Structure 1
Amino acid sequence: MNNVPPLDLARQYKLIGEDVSAAVLGVLASGRYIGGSHVETFEQQFGAYVGVSNCVGCNSGTDALYLALRALEIGSGDEVITTPFTFIATAEVITAVGATPVFVDIDAQTFNLDINKLEAAITNKTKAILPVHLFGQPVDMSAVMGIAQSHGLAVIEDCAQATGAQWGSSRVGSIGHIGCFSFFPTKNLGACGDGGAITTNDPAIAAKVRMLREHGMKARYYHEETGINSRLDAVQAAILQIKLRHLDTWNAQRSSVAKRYQELLGLVPGIVTPQETVGGRSVWNQYTIRIPTNYVPTQEPGKEGDGKQSTSLPVTYRDQVRSKLQQLGVSSMVYYPLPLHLQPVYKHLGYQPGSLPVSEQACYEVLALPMFPEISVVEQEQVVYGLKDCL
């Protein structure tokens, strides 16, 4: 019995290693490591892929979100609506620009923002909506854009886990006012290090982002605003050009893996499998099941019965199953064990256990099974049969 990893980037490299090595050596030989033709070409290619007129590379997906908020001049006294069921970066950047994150509960089926609860969260301080296309599943962008337009709000798409996903006939990152992408190695389009990009059809936003990512400069050594240093380096841009050629194939393979999981898991009682969003096309960055458990929001996160500090929710049935799976050679991940509204860093916002119950329930139940394009049928069977044994 072999161990099944949650993902295996080495297998991908074996397929494209020669091309990647040649591209990297070409950059090194050029002597141009920051900016230049490799970055400009990737920005053009990725913008065309997403379906926008402007793409600006940056250092990370986190920086992309931060620069997007800065470009829209969102700051102190403003509110941005987003999800509590996501990686901290989504809310972290809202705080970083001086604004306040307002969390809206999620839909139990898609793990994305519950559109039916979105409008009730809007106040006269709301400046933007920041939906997250979580696990590769697109948010209902038709509904989001309709609500945003009726209230005069900007929409920033967090596409970190969903490069290539579609809502209707449009790719995510081309629907809102700004799209923000991460090229962290585990993403569908991953670099060999950090990287990110902003996409937009607004040239003024693109120009503002370019200035902010270069220390607030338009002309060299003349600084118009306080910016940051956030550039996509040439080596990563060259690697991403190679990988972009394969992205649709890899995403199609992920869809096949997800379909196979659906078929195999039909034999396993006691779990809830993810469903593709109606009206959208997922790219399955993660394949996340739910293992139902009882949830009673009676304990304040960050405290245990003996008064000691803790940063996680109590051990659940999901955690026990995960531990047993590991013993059978199957690795899995939990995205995410504690929702953002209950994180210690956001205690000052006043959210209490039970305030966003669907997100809290999900944190008790979710389990991400191994998901990557190169996973074999035999490995998937090992995952599913091991899961069945554990349950």
Structure 2
Amino acid sequence: MPTRVWDYLPEYEKERADILDAVETVMESGQLILGKSVRGFEEEFAAYHGLPHCTGVDNGTNAVKLALQALGVGPGDEVITVSNTAAPTVLAIDGCGATPVFVDVREEDFLMDTGQVAAAITGRTKAIVPVHLFGQCVDMAPIKRLAAEHGLVVMEDCAQAHGARHHGELAGTMADAGAFSFYPTKVLGAYGDAGAVITRDETTQENLQRLHYYGMEKVYYVVRTPGHNARLDELHAEILRRKLGRLDEYIAGRRAVAEHYVDGLGDLAGSHGLLLPRTAPGNEHVYYIYVVRHPQRDAILERLKDFDIHLNISYPWPVHTMTGFQHLGLGKGTLPVTERLADEIFSLPMYPSLPRELQDHVISSVRKVVTSL
């Protein structure tokens, strides 16, 4: 069987009885939309983060979009974020009618270069969206300081950082709101699309509750303000409730895989140029994906196919270079670090149920390829 960066089948085999029981629980409940499972997951996910509010939504893109709209972001506003992210982060900003404004990322950890944010603020800036990338958090202190000075809102994109901590604080709890994706590959993943927004602010929560339910408030068919059909369904909610109780176990499993990669590949950095992930100061990494770097990335990926190892790149095309964002007037050379990374980074297999024999196969194969370059 080919070795890929992610596979849900080993996890499903281990958890099959509980997952199928979750499905039975919902099917026998008599309510498939906005029932006990959604309410239960929202309460439990909020409690995990020590916050009072959570709104489940249908996917991570809408989690970002609705969170921004709930915080007052709209047409004419500018939102500062990064181009080294999955396109949905930026699509959600665009979906609010706002304009994304990009700052570069840091060479050492690929996270937002917070030293560039101040210069990006204009009279139209409404929000900052730090992306907690690949499993660890952006340094939030300078962002929060700038937001306070300029009257901006901050929304954390936590799609890749479930359970990650920054100086002891969980991702999603350090700003006005935190948006999560539960796409199947995530640290906490559903078996389809799902998402959520957490907040401590009552007004933001009230806005979210309207926005994700057509703009209605309690009474069906009565639209208070235009909204969306962006509800989390009962089946995914119940599965996520079960898996939430195992989130810390999943994180421990990912960290164990990461440690094994360090043991097997760590010596290749100096003499052979393979750079492994670096954890930023104050962070507790959860390794959503295990992103490494090498100047001969494309040659490595091609030769690993000879060992039946097929890997991904996150991300080969910076958002600001995509044709869909040509209207921003940005091109090659605008964000040099982001563009350089796009040519050199790739992901090794990473999921908590990754069998040790496959980890060893990846390590031995990467060693053979890298040392032969």
1:11 aligns to 2:14 (yes or no) = no
TM-score, normalisation: structure 2: 0.96
| Conserved 8 A contact 1:61-1:196 | yes
1:323 aligns to 2:305 (yes or no) = no
* Residue in structure 2 matching 1:350, options 305, 322, 329: 329
Tell me the SS of whatever aligns to 1:109. Answer: coil
1:156 aligned partner, one-letter code: M
Deviation at 1:160, TM superposition (A): 0.4
Q: Give CA-to-partner distance per residue, 1:171-209, whole Å, 9 cap, x none.
A: 111111010000100001001111100000001101111
| Conserved 8 A contact 1:110-1:137 | no
Q: Give CA-to-partner distance per residue, 1:133-189, whole Å, 9 cap, x none.
A: 111111111222122112211000000011100111111111110100001000010
Of 6-15 and 141-150, the range deviating more from structure 2: 141-150
| Conserved 8 A contact 2:301-2:311 | yes
Deviation at 1:5, TM superposition (A): 2.2
* Residue in structure 2 matching 1:364, options 339, 343, 364: 343
CA distance in structure 1 between the partners assigned to 2:155 and 2:53 by the alignment? 15
Deviation at 1:109, TM superposition (A): 1.4
Deviation at 1:331, TM superposition (A): 2.1
Aligned position for 1:283? 286
1:231 aligns to 2:234 (yes or no) = no
Aligned position for 1:296? none
Deviation at 1:120, TM superposition (A): 1.0
1:347 aligned partner, one-letter code: Q
2:55 aligned partner, one-letter code: V
Aligned position for 2:259? 259
| Conserved 8 A contact 1:188-1:251 | yes
Aligned position for 1:203? 202
| Conserved 8 A contact 2:60-2:179 | yes
| Conserved 8 A contact 1:61-1:197 | yes
Aligned position for 2:132? 133
Tell me the SS of whatever aligns to 2:43. Answer: helix
Tell me the SS of whatever aligns to 2:309. Answer: coil
Tell me the SS of whatever aligns to 2:3. Answer: coil
Tell me the SS of whatever aligns to 1:223. Answer: coil
Deviation at 1:267, TM superposition (A): 3.3
In the TM superposition, 1:372-387 aligns within 5 A as 372-387=351-366
Aligned position for 1:298? none
Deviation at 1:344, TM superposition (A): 0.7
Deviation at 1:326, TM superposition (A): 1.7
Aligned position for 2:109? 110
After TM superposition, what 4+ stretches of structure 1 lie above 3 angstroms from structure 2? none
2:220 aligned partner, one-letter code: R
Deviation at 1:377, TM superposition (A): 3.0
CA distance in structure 2 between the partners assigned to 1:149 and 1:325 by the alignment? 48
Tell me the SS of whatever aligns to 1:33. Answer: coil
In the TM superposition, 1:1-391 aligns within 5 A as 3-218=2-217, 219-268=219-268, 269-292=272-295, 317-391=296-370
| Conserved 8 A contact 1:59-1:194 | yes
CA distance in structure 2 between the partners assigned to 1:18 and 1:143 by the alignment? 46
CA distance in structure 1 between the partners assigned to 2:232 and 2:266 by the alignment? 43
**Paired residues, what number?**
366
2:286 aligned partner, one-letter code: V
CA distance in structure 1 between the partners assigned to 2:192 and 2:360 by the alignment? 31
| Conserved 8 A contact 1:331-1:370 | no
| Conserved 8 A contact 2:10-2:354 | no
Instruction: Name structure 1 gaps, 5 residues minimum.
Output: 293-316
CA distance in structure 2 between the partners assigned to 1:84 and 1:332 by the alignment? 22
Deviation at 1:15, TM superposition (A): 1.6
| Conserved 8 A contact 1:68-1:198 | yes
CA distance in structure 2 between the partners assigned to 1:180 and 1:288 by the alignment? 22
Tell me the SS of whatever aligns to 1:106. Answer: coil
Deviation at 1:283, TM superposition (A): 0.7
Deviation at 1:75, TM superposition (A): 1.4
Tell me the SS of whatever aligns to 2:362. Answer: helix
| Conserved 8 A contact 2:297-2:345 | yes
TM-score, normalisation: structure 1: 0.92
Tell me the SS of whatever aligns to 2:28. Answer: helix
